[in-house]
């Protein structure tokens, strides 16, 4: 009798472990992979003239996209810095380039 109960309890533990792995994958691994994929797509589609913000908060326009994974960023007219593409913040750049909506005040 005891052997039957132990075998049933073991299968429940395997099912519970499988469900925990599934939940972990759904809520942690999958969203992070989607974000990494969209970040890579964003970096690959950068081109000259785009307004960007780096993760350090530096604003500028792309002057040149180099083949070595860097860009030449114009921060002021005539002032250029060379940065890695991975140093560009997708969230802040999208916020910068988001269209401005008119604010209507209530009277």
Q: In order along the chain (107 residues), what is the average pLDDT of each group of 10 residues?
A: 53 89 89 91 91 93 92 93 92 82 65
CATH architecture of 47-99: Roll (2.30)
Concatenating the DSSP letter of every residue in 15-58 gives: HHHHHHHHHHIIIIIHHHHHHHHHHHHHHHT--TT-EEEBTT--
Q: What is the pTM of this model?
A: 0.66
pLDDT for res 9: 62
pLDDT for res 102: 59
Q: Sketch the domain layout of the chain as residue ranges.
A: 1-45, 47-99
């Amino acid at each position: 009798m005891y052997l039957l109960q132990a075998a049933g309890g073991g299968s429940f533990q395997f099912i519970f472990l499988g469900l925990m792995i599934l939940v972990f994958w759904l809520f942690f691994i999958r969203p992070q992979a989607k974000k990494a994929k969209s970040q890579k797509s964003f970096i690959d589609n950068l081109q000259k003239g785009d307004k960007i913000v780096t993760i350090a908060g530096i604003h500028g326009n792309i002057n040149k996209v180099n083949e070595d994974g860097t860009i030449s960023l114009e921060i002021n007219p005539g002032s250029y810095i060379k940065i890695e593409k991975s140093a560009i913040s997708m969230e802040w750049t999208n916020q910068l380039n988001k269209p401005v909506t008119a604010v209507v005040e209530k009277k």
